[in-house]
């Protein structure tokens, strides 16, 4: 015989490995990352749905804190948890029938609220610093007589004092403009559209008693973001490892005819 002839058949998959890209450890870690990410992502959304309710504020009575048309997230709370300075959502048929109202609590049961002393609201004789009001605006467009808030009730004002139909517009009612704590359904934590973020703490009321603690919104957002990153990172591991592995093989392939 004149020589030995050999024939090579090219692999059907162009030489690529049939196995999963990346090592076994990498595959396991990517799967674990995706599983943990899904738990965090879905758990964060579920937690948020239980704790928070979205509202669209239809008027500018809370400007500049909340403008007309803004979308807010309000934490579901019991009326007994409300503190001075909170922006709350409540329903009261004497104010608006069949629709929630958003206002700021400036006095609680037992307080005496009046306006104005040197242009500032007073609660129990103390002047309240209200940096959330528009620059140059007074605490109230017109003075109103001192009101002793009954136990179990709240006195509420809009941050846009010149046009807000708040407790001062109901002083002639039987309850003298106050609202029952039980009427409160939620406390506003943040403006989410546009993305203005968390409401600033009403530190001007701190001398009168404890302020409400912020809700878990920041923690919920962190869980959702971390979960999304883990899911995307775990899902990208396989394609990235395959691409890097292909480049490595192409660099080490021997030159020459076969």
Residue 246 lies in a domain: no
Residue 252 lies in a domain: no
Residues in contact with 209: Cβ distance below 8 Å, sequence separation at least 6, in sequence order: 83, 84
Domain of residue 44, residue span: 26-48+220-241
* Domain count across the chain: 2
**Do 147 and 187 sit in the same domain of this protein?**
yes
- Distances, alpha carbon 222 to alpha carbons 33, 52, 226, in Å: 16, 16, 6
Q: Which of 30, 61, 164, 167 is catalytic?
A: 61
pLDDT digit string, tens, across residues 200-247: 999 999 999 999 999 999 999 999 999 999 999 888 776 776 776 656
Closest C-alpha to 62, from 103, 107, 100, 121: 103
Cα dihedral across residues 151, 128, 217, 134: positive or negative: positive
Q: Residue 153 maps to which CATH number?
A: 2.10.109.10
Q: Cα–Cα distance between 60 and 32 in angstroms, integer? A: 48
**Do 101 and 194 sit in the same domain of this protein?**
yes
Give the model's pLDDT for residue 6: 46
Percent of the chain exceeding pLDDT 70 equals 84
pLDDT digit string, tens, across residues 16-31: 445 455 578 878 888 8
**Do 101 and 156 sit in the same domain of this protein?**
yes
Instruction: Name the stretches of the chain with pLDDT < 70.
Output: 1-22, 141, 238, 241, 244-258
Indicate the pTM of the whole model.
Answer: 0.82
Give the model's pLDDT for residue 247: 60
Residue 155 lies in a domain: yes
Q: Which of 103, 164, 167, 212 is catalytic?
A: 103
Q: Is 200 a catalytic residue?
A: no
Give the model's pLDDT for residue 137: 82
**Do 38 and 91 sit in the same domain of this protein?**
no
Q: Is 242 a catalytic residue?
A: no
Q: Cα–Cα distance between 258 and 254 in angstroms, integer? A: 10
Give the model's pLDDT for residue 13: 47
Residue 1 lies in a domain: no
């Amino acid at each position: 015989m004149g020589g030995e002839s050999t024939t090579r058949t090219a692999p059907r998959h162009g030489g690529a490995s049939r196995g999963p890209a990346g090592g076994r450890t990498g595959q396991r870690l990517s799967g674990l990352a995706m599983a943990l990410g899904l738990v965090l992502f879905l758990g964060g959304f579920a937690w948020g749905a239980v704790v928070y309710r979205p509202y669209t504020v239809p008027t500018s009575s809370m400007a500049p804190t909340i403008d007309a048309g803004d979308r807010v997230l309000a934490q579901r709370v019991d009326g007994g948890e409300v503190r001075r300075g909170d922006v709350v959502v409540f329903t009261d048929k004497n104010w608006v029938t069949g629709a929630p109202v958003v206002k700021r609590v400036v006095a609680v049961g037992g307080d005496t609220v009046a306006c104005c002393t040197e242009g500032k609201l007073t609660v129990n004789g103390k002047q309240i610093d209200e940096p959330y009001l528009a620059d140059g605006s007074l605490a109230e467009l017109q003075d109103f007589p001192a009101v002793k808030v009954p136990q179990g009730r709240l006195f509420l004002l809009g941050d846009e004092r010149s046009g807000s139909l708040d407790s001062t517009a109901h002083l002639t009612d039987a309850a003298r403009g106050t609202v029952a704590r039980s009427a409160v359904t939620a406390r506003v934590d943040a403006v989410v559209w546009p993305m203005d973020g968390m409401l600033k703490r009403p530190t001007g009321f701190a001398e009168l008693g404890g302020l409400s603690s912020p809700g878990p919104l920041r923690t919920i957002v962190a869980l959702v973001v971390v979960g999304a990153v883990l899911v995307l990172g775990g899902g990208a591991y396989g394609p990235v490892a395959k691409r890097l592995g292909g480049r490595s093989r192409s660099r080490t392939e021997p030159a020459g005819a076969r």
